A and B are shown apart, each in its own frame.
Chain A
Amino acid sequence: MTSPIANWSPENQERANKILATYPEKRSAIMPLLYLASLEHNHASNEAMCQVAELIGITPSQVRSVSTFYTMFKQEPVGKYLVSVCTSISCHLLGGNEVFDSVSDAAGVGHNQTTEDGQISVEHVECIGACGGAPAVQVNYELIEGVTPDKARALVEWLTQTTPAVVLADEMQQLFGGQRSFDWGPAEHAGAIAPVPAFGPYGSAGGDQ
């Protein structure tokens, strides 16, 4: 019997095994494994869900029922860069809707849509905990605060033109951000390599760290 994840990268296979060994009950590994599977498949695809189900020993429909509950497990393919614009109350008060319109216009696609070349997906999201630096935007869950409609447009153009392999919050903040919720402290050199949160150690996702 070959492993259900024999076609994953060796690194992600190792992470998956580590995750499975982490929890008192195997089922707790569903969410981290769904992130890893999304990294391998771009989104929580059917195949991804079947693989996770087999690893844990439950049915694919049980995995689907969990996967569809959470907005960060994408049921459809997403672009290389997922641009999430907050339109909750604090951002709403300071122009979050205009920032969203600007992102959407620059990318040429609306909420939950992806550009034809597969580069950019756009979504408006609820509060991302950056309300003191409203309006806030994330690219692959890396944060930029104090974004204006103009800067938002420039951000989308920059992503399209420079296609960075790793998106870094500090770099984007410097280029396209303004007011922050608080001082972030020293620059960080880890960032996201895909539209999955860059949190490596327990293998939830990739990232440069």
Chain B
Amino acid sequence: MTTQILTARMEAHPSDSHTIERYLDTGGYATLKKTVASSKREDIVEQVKASNIRGRGGAGFPMGMKWGFLAASDPKYLVVNADESEPGTFKDRQLLERDPHQLIEGIAIASFALGVNRAFVYIRGEYSKPARRLQRAVEEAHEAGYLGENIAGSGFSLDVTVHLGAGAYICGEETALLNSIEGRRGEPRLKPPFPAVEGLYARPTIVNNVESLSNVPWIVANGGEAYAAIGPERSAGTRMFSLSGHVKKPGNYEIVMGMSWRDLIYGIGGGIRDDNELKTWIPGGASSPWLIPEHLDTAITIDGVVEFGTMLGSGAVVVMDETTDVVAAAHSIVRFFAHESCGQCTPCREGTKWLQDILERIMAGNGRPEDVDLLLDVSDNISPGLVWPPAMTTICPLGPSATAPIISITKYFLDEVNAAIEGRQAAVV
């Protein structure tokens, strides 16, 4: 319950957890020093494989397995995904602002293991403060000899460049991100080739999320098995959840997976504001289909939620109480995806706009009897069969994500949607 890997330092030292002095003082960079001095690269990859950690950026891909796919030819790159733009998600911002050295040590150990000498951190442009903090930390680490040439006298060298995005959610998708660093439009690439074979500048590249990499120092210091022993089998380790919406205590919480939704929302989150009734919640960021109170006593695991047609995604839990107008909430999310579609695929570009228009006319009191069918039809065009995980006909999963709120409101709140269409109920929120 109280296992803390990522947030221990910032909690114990709220005033200076981001400084190199505090980082060193609490054992920081010792693992890097030991690793570069005496470890074999393959052994580090093995530890990460043994940890069973799955990526925290949304897709939940096993990190060690991904590292194992990296093609051997030099130069290779490590790219850190700090684009965090999935509505509801703000965990990476806390890791960047409050413990940037933990991330840098993770980057350095990962780079050593992967045989990488150049890493890029792609931070969304709106994160100016986290970018400043990270840049300062990179400079501190450089001065102290933990980055740059010949790290800790080992012969291993690594440069880290902090690169700012410029306001495009789609750049969080790993291949769009690589295009963006290359100075191109942030449009996702067709896969294969996968980045591990042909990524940045067409070189072998590993893309990992901020939280994923922030776990690496602990995993290497304590051993992969120790990490694997935390939490349920296929959801090893702790995980940052961003709690927001109508809860009493919003915030980021590092929890061991396997806990129930009730414990998260009512225990850790303090329950619903004004002691209202819980209506629904988004379990893994705006891209994920919603859950309802009958799911409260089920366990939070990466695979477990798939049974209910959704995903843990980015770990963003957005709670909605009884006063919520679900049509307006769905509209906010659909509008987001319509705005962020890169436009390469017709079903995504056109479909998301359609969904937005239909929801807007319903909200304006001009709903038509056929609108529910139309919403589902358009959604089915973007994501055939409306299954979750979605069947992909688009280049990337953004298009299908836009159907998540439509699936949710038609599945759980059809009466309310119909009432809105018939103009029986005014907007609540």
Contact = CB atoms under 8 A, between A and B. Distances in A.
B69 interface: no
A131 B92 CA distance: 12
A90 B87 contact: yes
Interface in A20-74: 22-25, 27-32, 34-35, 56, 65-66, 69-73
Given A24-B118, A141-B125, A182 B94 contact: yes
A202 B316 CA distance: 31
B211 interface: no
Contact of B88 (A24, A72, A89, A202): A89
B185 interface: yes
Given A90-B244, A129-B93, A28 B181 contact: yes
B165 interface: yes
A69 B242 CA distance: 29
B161 interface: yes
Given A132-B242, A209-B132, A93 B324 contact: yes
A204 interface: yes
Q: Interface residues of A toward B: which range?
A: 35 or more
Contacts of A84: 126
Contact of A201 (B18, B135, B282, B286): B135
B358 to A, nearest CB: 18
Interface residues of B, number: 70
Contacts of A143: 129
B332 interface: yes
B340 interface: yes
A186 B329 contact: no
B12 interface: no
B87 A127 contact: yes
A81 to B, nearest CB: 15
B131 A131 contact: no
B97 A184 contact: yes
B385 to A, nearest CB: 25
A84 B126 CA distance: 10
B164 A35 contact: yes
Contacts of B132: 188, 190, 198-200, 207, 209
B341 to A, nearest CB: 12
A89 B128 contact: no
Interface string B277-293: 00000100010000000
B320 interface: yes
A71 B168 contact: yes
B124 A129 contact: yes
B365 interface: no
Contact of B336 (A127, A132, A138): A127
Contacts of B127: 129
Contact of B185 (A69, A72, A200): A69
A181 B250 contact: yes
Interface string B121-165: 000111111011001000100000000000000000000011111
Interface in A154-209: 169, 179, 181-186, 188, 190, 192, 197-202, 204-205, 207, 209
A23 B160 CA distance: 11
A13 B140 CA distance: 25
Nearest to A204: B164
Contact of A138 (B85, B89, B126, B324): B126
Name the residue among A32, A134, A142, A199 with the largest chain B CB count within 10 angstroms: A199
A126 interface: yes
A126 B83 CA distance: 13
Given A127-B87, A132-B243, A181-B252, A28 B182 contact: yes
A127 B286 CA distance: 10
Contacts of A90: 87-88, 244-245, 318
A124 to B, nearest CB: 10
A173 B342 CA distance: 34
Contacts of B246: 93-94
B14 A183 contact: yes
B75 to A, nearest CB: 8
A119 interface: no
A142 B242 contact: no
B86 interface: yes
A58 B114 CA distance: 33
A70 B165 contact: yes
Contact of A129 (B75, B89, B166, B286): B89
A31 B98 CA distance: 26
A92 interface: yes
B98 A92 contact: no
Nearest to A23: B161
B252 A197 contact: no
A22 B286 CA distance: 35
22 contacts: A27-B183, A28-B183, A29-B183, A70-B125, A70-B165, A72-B165, A87-B332, A89-B282, A126-B85, A126-B169, A126-B336, A126-B339, A127-B87, A130-B93, A131-B87, A131-B318, A181-B94, A181-B244, A185-B10, A185-B17, A199-B164, A201-B135
Given A93-B245, A143-B129, 16 more contacts: A22-B161, A24-B75, A24-B201, A25-B182, A27-B184, A31-B166, A34-B166, A70-B186, A92-B429, A127-B85, A131-B250, A132-B252, A181-B250, A185-B10, A185-B14, A186-B15
Interface of A: 22-25, 27-32, 34-35, 56, 65-66, 69-73, 84, 87-90, 92-94, 125-134, 138, 141-143, 169, 179, 181-186, 188, 190, 192, 197-202, 204-205, 207, 209
